[in-house]
Structure 1
């Protein structure tokens, strides 16, 4: 059992065995005697103490808490005996020391040989090349790509400066021994002495007596203080933002990992775009976004805490490698997703339908109140459950085009379209689109939506409706059609202000039978009398139909009563009775109390 002594060595606290303490104390006394005639003796002793404190700290990182005699002997072996290092003023003797392990260079900023912050000078020492070449490369990056400035600032923040003699020796890769410490300190003193010798003291005295410079110096101190406070505020802001972002990313990752237990509303949207498990995507996003914000957090802490230690190069390089891997993986997943929409295909469904030439085709869009509450509710795509609790994709990507056909029978053509990684995959996805429509008398009811199973994934599925009508067909679009009509306006110009208009398919375009010209009064103002327009259009439509029916009766040699009615249900034509040309019924036109024109031929 031995006594222990508490000592303060290089600003660090140690428990040391009494025998070890005596040996270490004798070693320090011997070093002081060997440096009795050396310049900067106190500075050298301070650096030696700090170096020995670092070595003791490395040896006591485990459970061991007391420095023993063996530890001190090993450190003395590394540092060397004082009598082995006698440095004259002219040249240094070659030291005879032994190393317990080979030392390597450490990356520091060299402020003594710096032009800005010493970053490139430090890299020059670390890589063993002239800093001039690194400065040329940095200028090229700054002028050519614009990234050099950002890279330099980040390195300036992350790289510690070589301040002590030990750090300067580690930066150049020289052994941290008594000889090298003394040599380095003497070189620094010689450099400072040389600078003082070359000073123009008269000029310096005149400048010192200049009151304006003293005021400028005071102002610079104030500005430096202001910039220091501003830096602290920036550091606090970075810490808050980075911490909040990292916390959100971690919570999001944990939430994503629990999808096997709980179904979240946005789970389907993520599953729609990739087949990779969600927790892997979450982890990649966490790494890709989290690591830059982690370094921002470190930067903010460094601005707030002056003497904060670096996290170490191994940790930095490991995080950088993880970030590069995550970014590369996410890019690969993005390219894979891009191939999912590389091809498009369609499936065509055609159906003819019967329509009496005298009837008016009513066109209307309907909505499903299970998915929407109004015909005007539109969704590009939406994941929802149908009435059978099956996950489906709901979309209002539906369009209508009205075209002319030379066939005698009108027909409707439904084209279902989708995208995929191949033509076959796109066609298969298009075939699985569910779309409905039906005929009810002279009414065509079209769904304003499409459905498909969520397993088919959303790949821009849509439905295009082509309504082909023969020449002379009357049709009346409902107000709901205006949201889905994609017909060329030069062929069919749908009036949006009302649904009372009736149209007829003609040889070259669609004609509105009861649309009137609207004249504006004043720039930007349009005055419309809808009742007057409706009355005039109704009168014109009746006369047009009457003339057509009269020509047909004359050609057929018939005498009949023709009733023409135009109202919100369209055009209705009714004939009553047929007689020879010698009939006794009076000829001419008459109108009943309901505004129905009756023509007797």
Structure 2
């Protein structure tokens, strides 16, 4: 039965039995003796201890694991014996007895050689290429749409910085052994020493003097505090913005995922996505959560790093797992987007024409009606949604209906109904348009139109629409119901989009609609022509005559004072 002790190696605590502890202590003592003549001995020992602690952590199977002789032997096998790695001068290579290493690289940020965060330099070490090519790639991504900035920030947030000598060796793929740790520290030590040797001490003295004066004045401290405060403010801004954005993404994703169980889909009816045709909304919700939420999460971590000193990392496994999920989600969204675009590549339509048997001088009444099974208001414009008919069968219900007023030279008015839809081909689009069910009827001189249409759910949502073209001959009286305004469409129309208030009668005169019974304040479409005649003699106005539509409204020839006003429609009227 062996006694166990608790030890601290590289800032980590371990349970180790007495025999293993004694062997590990002798191992460290031997290393110290081998480094007695080395520059930076303390730094080398610190890095060696941290590397040993890392290897022991990898061998721990549980929190109660006790380090034994076998574990210590495995560490020694990786690190090597001190006597096998003596570096007495720069020209002597260390022996490699009893040592093997995979030389596997790890991704770190090289802050020492990097310009900003060391991301590009670290990637260059990892892939074995010059970092300048990585930097050029990020610049091209920025020009291509700004994605390079987002990618750089994500990599900055998830990639750890190479701080210790062991991490710097792992970054370049060199084995983390006593020899390489000692060699790396000596190189850095000698680099610093050479800088001091080659320095211009007179110039340095002046710089130190000037620097001392600045420090005495407190300028340097103020600048550092300002930059520190700026970093904190920036971190707080990033944290608040990213947190709110992440909450919004999560809520939107939950609504989309559980959309099918919501009553009447009232909330979902207002959610329109670019890939909303073939892909179920719950799948879109999951993909949206990953594609938008993961980058925002990493930006949130970046904000926390600016605010919190020594923030603990979420771990490489979590970082690279989230990055992989994000790449897969974006790839799936791009693929679905291409497929959705193909579903709307071609437009098709069907045309139905019906003559209204009334004379050109008669009155045609127009009104819309609704189906109270699907809606309780004529003004309910849900556009398009999945519903059930009176028999309980699922159908596509839509109020995407519009009426266009056209002029015709035919003696009688007529109506043209066009049903429209999209598809992967003209044949598919035309077939889908044919399957739209739309109803209307003509009763005497009254045209009654449905404000909705139906189609089978097998036809899918493919921008289905119904356009009603009402052709009116010259001289006919057009009498729209008050509900027509909701569905009036000015595209492809021969008359103004808004010709006046509904519920009044309009006579077709050429390409105009003249209201016959509108109140004067609302009659905005009667065409008026103004004629102003001014007579002058020797630069003196003798008379002013104003005519509107041939009717004289002002003839000031007797010195009377009259007032002319131009209303909001540009029409001259006479006021006393």
TM-score by length of 2: 0.76
2 CA distance for matches of 1:274 and 1:498? Answer: 37
Q: Map Cα deviations across residues 81-113 of structure 1 (whole Å, 9 max, x no partner).
A: 222233214433422333465231222223333
- Please say if residues 111 and 118 of structure 1, whose CA atoms lie closer than 8 Å, have aligned partners that are also in contact: yes
2 CA distance for matches of 1:216 and 1:158? Answer: 35
Change (3 A) 1:121 1:352: closer
- Structure 1 residue aligned with 2:566: 523
- Structure 2 residue aligned with 1:92: 92
- Structure 2 residue aligned with 1:53: 53
Q: Structure 1: 5+ residue runs without aligned partners?
A: 531-601
Change (3 A) 1:101 1:205: closer
2 CA distance for matches of 1:387 and 1:426? Answer: 27
How far does residue 406 in structure 1 lie from its aligned partner after superposition?
Answer: 4.8
The structure having more radius of gyration, on CA atoms, is 1
1 CA distance for matches of 2:506 and 2:396? Answer: 38
- Please say if residues 48 and 178 of structure 1, whose CA atoms lie closer than 8 Å, have aligned partners that are also in contact: yes
- Please say if residues 438 and 453 of structure 2, whose CA atoms lie closer than 8 Å, have aligned partners that are also in contact: yes
Aligned pair count? 521
1 CA distance for matches of 2:257 and 2:507? Answer: 61
- Please say if residues 386 and 392 of structure 1, whose CA atoms lie closer than 8 Å, have aligned partners that are also in contact: no
1 CA distance for matches of 2:282 and 2:511? Answer: 57
Q: Structure 2: 5+ residue runs without aligned partners?
A: 518-525, 529-547, 554-563
Change (3 A) 1:125 1:405: closer
1 CA distance for matches of 2:68 and 2:311? Answer: 30
Alignment RMSD (CA, Å): 4.0
Q: Map Cα deviations across residues 488-538 of structure 1 (whole Å, 9 max, x no partner).
A: 887899962586656378xx77886969655594334469999xxxxxxxx
- Please say if residues 10 and 53 of structure 1, whose CA atoms lie closer than 8 Å, have aligned partners that are also in contact: yes
- Structure 2 residue aligned with 1:594: none
- Please say if residues 235 and 304 of structure 1, whose CA atoms lie closer than 8 Å, have aligned partners that are also in contact: no
TM-score by length of 1: 0.73
- Structure 2 residue aligned with 1:35: 35
How far does residue 16 in structure 1 lie from its aligned partner after superposition?
Answer: 0.5
- Please say if residues 250 and 293 of structure 2, whose CA atoms lie closer than 8 Å, have aligned partners that are also in contact: no
2 CA distance for matches of 1:513 and 1:173? Answer: 87
1 CA distance for matches of 2:359 and 2:136? Answer: 86
How far does residue 45 in structure 1 lie from its aligned partner after superposition?
Answer: 1.6
2 CA distance for matches of 1:265 and 1:86? Answer: 77
Which residue of 283, 289, 293 maps to 1:290?
293
- Please say if residues 357 and 413 of structure 2, whose CA atoms lie closer than 8 Å, have aligned partners that are also in contact: yes
Q: 3-state SS of the aligned residue for 1:16?
A: strand
Change (3 A) 1:115 1:512: closer
- Structure 2 residue aligned with 1:112: 112
Q: Map Cα deviations across residues 172-214 of structure 1 (whole Å, 9 max, x no partner).
A: 2222222222222222222222222233334333333336522
Q: Map Cα deviations across residues 286-316 of structure 1 (whole Å, 9 max, x no partner).
A: 2222222232233234334433454555654
2 CA distance for matches of 1:363 and 1:53? Answer: 90
Say which is worse superposed, 32-41 or 232-241, in terms of deviation.
232-241
Q: Map Cα deviations across residues 366-417 of structure 1 (whole Å, 9 max, x no partner).
A: 332736676666554455566666654131523143544556x665443333
Is 1:462 paired with 2:484? no
